[in-house]
Amino acid sequence: MSALKELVFVGLGLHDEKGISLQGLEESRTADQVFIELYTSILPCFSMQRFEAFINKQIHVVSRHDLEEECGRVLLKAAEKGKAVFLVPGDPFIATTHVALRIAAKKRGVKTRIVHGASVMSAIIGLSGLHNYKFGKTVTIPFPENLSETPYNVIAQNKKLGLHTLCLLDIKTDEKRFLSISEALMLLLKIEQKRKQGVITQDTIAVGVARAGSGAPALKADFVKDIVEFNFGDPPQSLIFPGDLHFMEAEALVALAGAPKRVKRLGK
Amino acid sequence: MSALKELVFVGLGLHDEKGISLQGLEESRTADQVFIELYTSILPCFSMQRFEAFINKQIHVVSRHDLEEECGRVLLKAAEKGKAVFLVPGDPFIATTHVALRIAAKKRGVKTRIVHGASVMSAIIGLSGLHNYKFGKTVTIPFPENLSETPYNVIAQNKKLGLHTLCLLDIKTDEKRFLSISEALMLLLKIEQKRKQGVITQDTIAVGVARAGSGAPALKADFVKDIVEFNFGDPPQSLIFPGDLHFMEAEALVALAGAPKRVKRLGK
């Protein structure tokens, strides 16, 4: 048992068990107990077995119930006795759901540390070739049963300011359900029909990104009417609606994301 | 020599040579040639020697001149003969400066791939306990010799929308100059004196973050008049100006960032 009472949040990155940093691997190897959650996002090719072999110890899977209803008690108890590592997809606090656990640990006198991992946010932006500092507020597009006009409003607001919008698409990992780019566009077009503000029409440029962080991501920029038909393959998928384009961004969309050549003329 | 003509951009993460992912390490080990740039951001404890020992090969350092004036010719030539790996601090395309190289590679028929790393963007947001989807446009505060009102305007615009602003602080790695949180606040107060819109006053809440991604980051939320005096220690440093606070965010600022207790009452 390590003498230190601590809870170390370790990011797993984006795709498989090789997304973790060397630091994260070392923390896992020296931990007294290792926990993992796999419900906030998907790691398409992550193998628990391979990862357990890497660190040479057993990993306990914690569920949404363990964390939300039980307030992460099992993790806190482990951290009160020694060093507990909590493996989380992506970068640990980007999905916001684990902040309550960090506060609870602090209140119990348990030290917390974070070992960061690649986040889907910066990965998608990096792949797109668009400038990071030109993105406004991010939004998640929910499944049709939770239809919301918020994404439409956020995209509209960002566009008005000339900013790009990153849209994450809803997932339900327990049901293996993932909103697709096509479905998300259909939902937005439906809201457009009602709101008629010209925010997302058939002729709007959108950028679809699938499997960011994998060895074979898909990236395609095109008009909505064409992107709806594009086959992006397996999830996870996401969408960007560009605002004003710098000439270098327009060139990147054509060269890297297969946008129609006339998109170049939109760059300033 | 590997048969594949390719250029693999690999993120180094945030702090030292252990920030790279296992995937990134593997790519470096199997590369024909490995390059690195260390001018877009700082990796405070990165040791080239230790990293060369990890991958068991020599690394070529490329300068801003090599990349911007020479268009990365040395990298493209290596990638035309085999597998070239380009190591970049953070997540490779977040600093925007390497998009031109990726486009040039594509035009020469050289395949490119990205192995993502932790980015300072998600690391700072994660440390702060603030909700990622409530951040608006990001801005960089430049050194006093390049005084600009843009950061003030961006913070004002985000606040009007209820959104938080992440402010990166200017660095000149070649001169080992780093804008500090105190200096940045003084610059913003100076602009406030002129603009008088009440965007950043002595009584505005700000969150300072230093050394995100290291084992000992500093995090402090307080009123501007107190944060100006706070000793954050070594660079890199950055700032967040919160917009509207959710009650959980207000609680996180008090519990995790040492904000005065009355900040809790600002949460909704």
pLDDT of amino acid B3: 66
Q: In chain A, what residues touch B140 (CB-CB under 8 Å)? A: 133
Cβ atoms of A156 and A188 closer than 8 Å = no
Q: Is A238 on the interface with B (CB under 8 A)?
A: no
Closest to B90 measured CA to CA, from A167, A46, A75, A122: A122
User: Would you write out chain B's pLDDT as a tens digit for each of its 268 residues?
Assistant: 556 899 999 999 999 999 999 999 999 999 999 999 999 888 999 999 999 999 999 999 999 999 999 999 999 999 999 999 999 999 999 877 899 999 999 999 999 999 999 999 999 999 999 999 999 999 999 999 999 999 999 999 999 999 999 999 999 988 999 999 999 999 999 999 999 999 999 999 999 999 999 999 999 999 999 999 999 999 999 999 999 999 999 999 999 999 999 999 999 9
Supply the pLDDT for residue B183. 97
**What is the least distance, in Å, from the CA of A247 to any CA of chain B?**
11
Contact call for A126 and B251, based on CB within 8 A:
no
Nearest CA in chain A to B118: A118
pLDDT reported for residue A83 = 97
Helix B22-29 and helix B48-55, axial crossing angle in degrees, nearest 10: 70
A250-254 long-range contacts (CB < 8 A, ≥24 apart) are A251/B103, A252/A128, A252/A129, A252/A130, A252/B99, A252/B102, A252/B103, A253/A128, A253/A129, A253/A130, A253/A205, A253/A207, A253/A221, A254/A221
The rounded average pLDDT for each run of 10 residues, N- to C-terminus, in chain A (268 residues) is 84 97 97 95 93 95 93 96 97 88 95 96 96 96 96 98 97 92 98 97 97 96 97 97 97 97 93
What are the sequence ranges of the domains in chain B?
6-115, 120-266
- Searching chain A, which residue's CA lies closest to the CA of residue B14? A116
Measured torsion, CA atoms of residues B64, B68, B70, B71, in degrees rounded to the nearest 10: 120
Are the beta carbons of B113 and A215 separated by less than 8 Å? yes
* Beta carbons of B133 and A136 less than 8 Å apart: no
Within chain A, where are the H helices?
Answer: 22-29, 48-55, 64-68, 73-81, 99-107, 120-128, 150-160, 181-195, 224-227, 247-257
Cα–Cα dist B4/B229, whole Å: 55
Considering the domain B6-115, what is its CATH architecture? 3-Layer(aba) Sandwich (3.40)
Residue whose entry in the numeric block shows the structure tokens 């911007």: B68
pLDDT in tens, B53-108: 999 999 999 999 999 999 999 999 999 999 999 999 999 998 778 999 999 999 99
Measured from the Cβ of residue A202, the count of other Cβ atoms closer than 10 Å reads 12
Query: Per the CB < 8 Å rule, is B118 touching A121?
Result: no
Given A18, A113, A118, which is nearest B117 (Cβ)? A118
CA distance A26 to chain B (A): 9
CB count in 10 Å sphere of residue B15: 27
Note the pLDDT of residue A133.
Answer: 94
The A residues from 15 to 54 touching B (CB cutoff 8 Å) are 16-23, 25-26
DSSP string, B106-154: HHTT-EEEEE----HHHHHHHHHT--GGGB---EEEPPGGG--SHHHHH
How far apart CA B87 and CA A159 sit, in angstroms, is 34
Please report residues of A whose CB lies closer than 8 A to that of B16.
Answer: 23
Tell me the two tokens of residue B181.
């949180």
Which strand (E) or helix (H) includes residue B71?
none
Which numeric CATH code is attached to A120-266?
Answer: 3.30.950.10
Q: Do domains B6-115 and B120-266 have the same CATH topology?
A: no
